[in-house]
Chain A
Amino acid sequence: MTKISNNRKDCVITIELGTNAVRVFAFDLNGNIIGSAKGAYPTFHPEPDYSEQDPEQLFITMLYVLKNFLNETVYAQKYKVITICFSAAMHSVLPIDKNGVPLGNVITWADNRGKNEATALKNSSSGKTIYKSTGTPIHPMSPLVKIAWMKNQDKDRFKKTYKFLSIKSYIIQQLTGNYIIDYSLASATGLFNIHKLKWDADALAYAGITAAKLPELVSVFHPAGKLRKEYQTSLGLSADTKIITGSSDGCMATLGAGVWGEGKATVTIEDSGAMRVVGKEILKDEKQRFFNYVLTEDYYVSGGPTNNGGVIFEWFAKQFGVFKYAYGIENCMEELINDASKVAAGADGLLFLPYLLGERAPIWNANARGVYFGLNINHEQKHFARATIEGILYEMYSIGKTLEEHRSIKSLSVNGSFGTIPFCSQLIADIFNKPVAISKNTSSVAQGSFLLSATGMGIYKNLDDAAKTVEFAETFTPNKHNNEVYKKYAGVFENLSTKFNAEFEAIANLQQKNK
């Protein structure tokens, strides 16, 4: 496979190190997808608040998927790889020793071990300063908080650590030998000053580290270095294959959804979700409700994340759905959506707060819990199905409403496996009262990575032009009547979400003690 003939067509490979799986795509230089492959890896929970992954398993899975994909799809169709672009889930931390050997597992974004550190910092004056400089909400997800936790609770490992990497930095180091992180992913660490584009002195001091303990900062377009010879040979890639550092999955999903410029926002709902806008200014929010991540030197991706997306509907299906086949959850969810579509907008007065996993934006309350509200004797299972879906979307709408305090949003681009279920897309249009467009390429992260690579290669003049090429397969127009109904329910939803703070705390404590 090492022999490369001249009549081969050029292609770009994107590699997304996602929360549950690595996804590899190949694009031709016109942006058409040649093929894709994925490989899943597990998340371990050795303690209740812990979420960890095995860095070697991620690396090997990535390598295995990439190698098979290159041989079976890319080379088989006579393509030559000229660029490889990386993206990864945000907020991961991997301590390594001076030989580059991991000191334990990667701590993922979902890990909550630093919750005490987070609460203390968030309520302090330095917490407010750090949020303003770094743009990352003070939360256990933030690597800043995780490193501080390690400094306080895992002193031995903290002392032995040569560098704190992100999972992407580790994978790139394995492939090229260089310790680097792009501005974009760095801007989700809570340690990076998004105004000065360098590590933030206050944040470093709080975490108890110096900049030398972190990888070198580079732009998202930056070549990550040369592939080590052994990987060139085993993957059949030439020495001049350009490896682009790339960005985070969130920023790439936004670019890949074509949301670039005023008046637009993306709604992403997978297991969890987020709503994002892009602009040349950050969102300044006294209540620290938003993240502000850097994509390039002139663009910020801002928005709010939710814990409770499609995972909540899956929970509902597992508990209350009818399973015709072993593990037939897809079929079961289809049936439930079918049931839900038989109920009018507003589920005849049944309202659901979806906070089964606590919530981030906009209420930022880890103790929040799920509530079915307004139950009466006429409600049936189908009402629960509809209320559950509507509740997940009201939550997204409440993020949208706070975003609209800062930006005007005229249209939405929706992606993610839950958001793009046609029933859900229509509901999003109705609840937001805004037209919804669904991208043709269902993987916005891969699409965004391609657009970034292509811009870096000079195919597009800039990211604005690149984003304009995103094609939409389907659009949903809001139904005026339903919107009138949803407006009323969304108001009740919003009030309920903050009304139970004391009771949420009390019940969360009781649940903690029962464990």
Chain B
Amino acid sequence: MNQFFLLQGVSKELHPFAHIIEFAIKRNSTVQLNSFNETSSNSIRIYYVLEGKFEWVINDNHHILYPGDLVLIQPGHKFGGQKGVLDIGKLCWIYIEVNKHEPDERIMFGRWSSLPKNEILAIGKILRLCNTPVLSRVKEAGNILNEIQHELLNQQIGYFTRTNQLIDELFILIARKLTLQNDTHRDFPQSFMHLENALRQNLSHNWTVEEMAAMVGLGTTTFTEKVKSYSGFSPLNYLITIRISEAIKLLKQNDLSVTDIALDTGFYSSQHFSTTFKKLTGYTPSEFRKKNISNDQDQ
């Protein structure tokens, strides 16, 4: 791969691809001060090491990178070279603009992506929740980047579609590698615990089975079977046990309204909350609160 540098707004090759902010291959043969200071941006930045050894600080953590390593910088995360210096070697990078939705910081791709919405959400979730920004030995990523370069520079018939497909492929590859890396696919209880923590951290999110399955790195059918045999519940029913138990704690604290509790714990309305709660416990949320705040009749 030869060196090149494409920049959105400057390079005409990127004109049809508003979501590609930068795409480049750079060979660095001298070490210069302040050549690689810490920055952050709103796009997802993907780096792939072709040659050499790099020492970077990503979101305040130190990483050493070797050829074949892929680095994923989340939107808003800081990153730069150790001491602001870019080490000697060869790198390829691509910056892709994504939309981040408040309040749960959901990552969405633009209309360029041909992936269905639920898969994008699942991939976005995996990217966001990954606890390591570095994937080792991902030669496939190098191949995809190479192909993207080929499409952009040669502009054969269909290159517009093909380039976007390749970016989709790159994200799928990264998401799969991240799930494989997180848990070795050996310890279901451990993976399930990761999932449990993710669910609890973001209980108000409208979780789908697809998203949950993706976090564990399984297809929805296998995932549902595994969860059922491990926990006794379907994934969504398991989620309900967490929602209701969190809701009970909030009801007993008596400082949030029932409606707020319903929304905080992921029910779409206080009506939905009340019905589910009553069906399970026999009490409406307000009755339950009353019983537990002054349950003198039981003493």
Also in contact, A21 and B232, with CB within 8 A (given A59-B245, A318-B186): yes
Interface of B, helix, strand, loop or mixed by DSSP: helix
Q: Is B17 an interface residue (CB 8 A)?
A: no
Instruction: Give the docked Cα–Cα distance between A60 and B222 (Å).
Output: 26
Instruction: Give the docked Cα–Cα distance between A230 and B279 (Å).
Output: 10
Q: Is A54 an interface residue (CB 8 A)?
A: yes
Q: Is A323 an interface residue (CB 8 A)?
A: yes
Q: Is B164 an interface residue (CB 8 A)?
A: no
Q: Is B217 an interface residue (CB 8 A)?
A: yes
Contacts of B241 in A (CB 8 A): 39, 41, 57, 60-61, 64
Instruction: Give the docked Cα–Cα distance between A54 and B200 (Å).
Output: 12
CB–CB B293/A99 < 8 A: yes
Q: Is A370 an interface residue (CB 8 A)?
A: no
CB–CB B280/A234 < 8 A: yes
Q: Which of B127-135, B138-146, B188-196 contacts A (4 or more CB under 8 A)?
A: B188-196
Q: Is A198 an interface residue (CB 8 A)?
A: no
User: Which B residue's beta carbon lies closest to that of A319?
Assistant: B186
CB–CB A42/B294 < 8 A: no
Report B47 CB to chain A, min CB distance, Å: 29
Report A448 CB to chain B, min CB distance, Å: 21
Also in contact, A64 and B186, with CB within 8 A (given A40-B230, A54-B245): no
Also in contact, A327 and B191, with CB within 8 A (given A39-B232, A101-B252, A233-B282): yes
Within B205-248, the residues touching A (CB, 8 Å) are: 217-218, 222, 226, 230-233, 237, 240-242, 244-246, 248
Instruction: Name the contact of A234 in the complex, choosing from B184, B222, B282 (C-beta under 8 A).
Output: B282
Also in contact, A56 and B186, with CB within 8 A (given A100-B292, A230-B283, A231-B282): no
Encoded as 1 (CB less than 8 Å from any B CB) or 0, chain A from 332 to 369 comes to 00000000000000000000000000000000000000
CB–CB A56/B218 < 8 A: no
Q: Is B102 an interface residue (CB 8 A)?
A: no
Contacts of A37 in B (CB 8 A): 232
Instruction: Give the docked Cα–Cα distance between A61 and B239 (Å).
Output: 11
Contacts of B29 in A (CB 8 A): none
A-B Cβ contacts below 8 A, count: 92
Within A422-475, the residues touching B (CB, 8 Å) are: none
Instruction: Give the docked Cα–Cα distance between A323 and B230 (Å).
Output: 18
With most chain A CB atoms within 10 A of its CB, the pick from B232, B242, B244 is B232
User: Which A residue's beta carbon lies closest to that of B298?
Assistant: A177
CB–CB A327/B185 < 8 A: yes
Contacts of A487 in B (CB 8 A): none
Instruction: Name the contact of B281 in the complex, choosing from A41, A42, A230, A326 (C-beta under 8 A).
Output: A230
Instruction: Give the docked Cα–Cα distance between A327 and B76 (Å).
Output: 34
Encoded as 1 (CB less than 8 Å from any B CB) or 0, chain A from 269 to 288 comes to 00000000000000000000
User: Which A residue's beta carbon lies closest to that of B193?
Assistant: A42
Contacts of A56 in B (CB 8 A): 244-246, 248-249
Within A225-274, the residues touching B (CB, 8 Å) are: 228, 230-235
Contacts of B104 in A (CB 8 A): none
Contacts of B248 in A (CB 8 A): 56, 59-60
Contacts of A327 in B (CB 8 A): 185-188, 191, 218, 226
Q: Is B295 an interface residue (CB 8 A)?
A: yes
CB–CB B292/A326 < 8 A: no
Interface residues on B, range: 35 or more
Within A186-215, the residues touching B (CB, 8 Å) are: none
Contacts of B226 in A (CB 8 A): 327
Report B246 CB to chain A, min CB distance, Å: 8
User: Which A residue's beta carbon lies closest to that of B195?
Assistant: A42
CB–CB B231/A329 < 8 A: no
User: Which A residue's beta carbon lies closest to that of B192?
Assistant: A42
Contacts of A323 in B (CB 8 A): 185-186
Report B265 CB to chain A, min CB distance, Å: 12
User: Which B residue's beta carbon lies closest to that of A20?
Assistant: B189
CB–CB A60/B280 < 8 A: yes
Encoded as 1 (CB less than 8 Å from any A CB) or 0, chain B from 273 to 293 comes to 000001111110001000011
CB–CB B245/A100 < 8 A: no
Also in contact, A60 and B245, with CB within 8 A (given A318-B187, A327-B191): yes
Instruction: Give the docked Cα–Cα distance between A57 and B294 (Å).
Output: 22
Instruction: Name the contact of B218 in the complex, choosing from A39, A99, A326 (C-beta under 8 A).
Output: A326
CB–CB B231/A40 < 8 A: yes
Q: Is A115 an interface residue (CB 8 A)?
A: no
Report A84 CB to chain B, min CB distance, Å: 16
Q: Is A496 an interface residue (CB 8 A)?
A: no
Q: Is A157 an interface residue (CB 8 A)?
A: no
CB–CB A42/B196 < 8 A: yes
Contacts of B186 in A (CB 8 A): 318, 323, 327, 329
User: Which B residue's beta carbon lies closest to that of A100?
Assistant: B295
User: Which B residue's beta carbon lies closest to that of A321?
Assistant: B186
Contacts of B287 in A (CB 8 A): 230
Report B155 CB to chain A, min CB distance, Å: 41
Also in contact, A39 and B231, with CB within 8 A (given A99-B294, A101-B292): yes
Contacts of B191 in A (CB 8 A): 327
CB–CB B245/A57 < 8 A: yes
Contacts of B246 in A (CB 8 A): 56
CB–CB B295/A99 < 8 A: yes
CB–CB B280/A329 < 8 A: no
Instruction: Give the docked Cα–Cα distance between A65 and B238 (Å).
Output: 11
Q: Is A78 an interface residue (CB 8 A)?
A: no
Q: Is A33 an interface residue (CB 8 A)?
A: no
Q: Is A67 an interface residue (CB 8 A)?
A: yes
Q: Is A63 an interface residue (CB 8 A)?
A: yes
Q: List 20 A-B contacts (CB under 8 A).
A: A38-B232, A40-B230, A40-B233, A56-B248, A60-B241, A60-B245, A60-B281, A64-B280, A65-B232, A99-B293, A99-B294, A99-B295, A177-B295, A178-B298, A228-B282, A230-B287, A318-B187, A326-B217, A329-B187, A329-B188
Given contacts A42-B193, A61-B245, 18 further A-B contacts (CB under 8 A): A21-B231, A21-B232, A38-B232, A39-B232, A40-B233, A59-B245, A60-B248, A64-B237, A99-B294, A100-B298, A177-B295, A177-B298, A178-B298, A230-B283, A318-B184, A326-B218, A327-B226, A329-B188
